[in-house]
Amino acid sequence: MMTTVSPAPLAEPFYRRVQDRLRRTLQREGHDGLLMLATGNVIYATGFFHSANERPVGAWVPVDGEPILFVPLLEKENAEDGWIADVRTYDEFPGVVHPVLWMLGEIGRRRVAVDTLPVKLLDAARDGVAALAVTDLVERQRYVKEPEELLLTRTAARYADLCLEAILSGTADIVRGGGTELDILAHGMGTASAALSRDHAAAFGRTKLGITGTVHTGPRGALPHGKVIARRPSPGETMIAGIGASLGGYHAESGATFVLGDPNADQRRCLDAMQASNDAAIAALRPGAACTAVNDAALEPIKAAGLGDTLRHRIGHGMGIEGHEAPWLAPGDVTVVAPGMVFSNEPGIYRPGIDGYRTITSMIVGENGVEVPSRFIPVHPWEKRVITL
């Protein structure tokens, strides 16, 4: 009998393992420690969930010793509620001394690595330390997820799928009643958000959890990042729904193209090309492959169908603490695919003034193949996404 493992918020043992791996690399590279300022990196290495704004938050991980969390005074109690014992505060931004320079002063004259730094602070920062190096060490470590992280991604994907299920089952009645893109999206997101809150809000309330999404119909489907508006769909149009879900700070995506009424021959050609592209991405995503090569293989079926001029974006992106993060399944990214990496799979066809098509699944790279935790597309090929009005 298979045992179902319930997800839990990541805790101190996980973050200590993250920091220990960082320390080993820092030591090899000759640094005394790492100051993280990028929001995603701070959350990944400490578990301190916070909203990014003009007030910087920093985390110092020394090669020897305990970490320090630097926060504005208004975040003091929130930071002290976590596992890091040494929490230091500054009064306000911008301050007489810039908060980042204050952090470097607290660290002292050491060989400091930093993940990001405003250009205007570079000279002053260099003057305040023994040596300063800007590094993407944390970003690279985030590429490969641990089992606890993957469990959060798998679980989040189920709620993105649930939103699509609600859209599939509810759209016909909404359209018949004169509803709009806004109404369709509200129905799907309301269903999924209520379920996510019911199942996980008690345990994950201090982390990031939620549902986001878009719905575009007819010619507006040709706008990959268009706004959702009060547009009433019409019979014969396509409808794209793109849904994101987060649990414990980790993201997953699911998306689908629906057809309102029987698809015509041209729409079928596009839908078939989309499915072939989706399948090609899964086939190409193997350990040892270059990310750029996966992108090329995935987009080839769309080009082969004579639709190459409709392409507007890569096949996918990494996901984790951030909904979009490296590595990228895109031209120019030569990162080698490895087990534990998480990517989106987003074939898209966009025809301005006519229509658009996009599907989205989340993919987890395994030793011998790809796991697809987003099950809506595998369970609902395009023939099952035809909505009868």
Q: For the domain 147-387, what is the CATH superfamily, name and number?
A: Creatinase/methionine aminopeptidase superfamily (3.90.230.10)
pTM reported for the whole predicted model: 0.95
Could you give the CA distance from residue 190 to residue 263 in angstroms, rounded to a whole number?
28
Structure tokens at 40: 């995603």
Ordered strands of the 250-260 beta sheet: 210-217, 238-247, 250-260, 386-387
pLDDT in tens, the chain (389 residues): 334 678 999 999 999 999 999 999 999 999 999 999 999 999 999 999 998 999 999 999 999 999 999 999 999 999 999 999 999 999 999 999 999 999 999 999 999 999 999 999 999 999 999 999 999 999 999 999 999 999 999 999 999 999 999 999 999 999 999 999 999 999 999 999 999 999 999 999 999 999 999 999 999 999 999 899 999 999 999 999 999 999 999 999 999 999 999 999 999 999 999 999 999 999 999 999 999 999 999 999 999 999 999 999 999 999 999 999 999 999 999 999 999 999 999 999 999 999 999 999 999 999 989 999 999 999 999 999 999 99
Residues 250 and 340 sit within 8 Å (Cβ to Cβ): no
Are 246 and 322 a contacting pair, CB within 8 Å?
A: no
111-114 and 33-36 strand pairing: parallel
Q: Where are the domains of the chain?
A: 12-142, 147-387
- Residue position matching structure tokens 């507006």: 220
Alpha helical stretches, state H, the chain:
12-28, 39-46, 76-80, 99-107, 122-127, 137-142, 147-176, 181-204, 265-284, 291-304, 376-379
Tokens describing residue 298: 């995935």
* Fold of the domain built from segment(s) 12-142: Creatine Amidinohydrolase; Chain A, domain 1 (3.40.350)
CA–CA dist 181, 171 (Å, integer): 9
Helix, strand, or coil (residue 286): coil
Q: What is the maximum alpha-carbon separation in the chain?
A: 69
Rounded Cα–Cα distance for residues 34 and 27 (Å):
10
**Separation CA 186–CA 308 (nearest Å):** 33
Helix axes 181-204, 147-176, angle to 10 degrees: 150
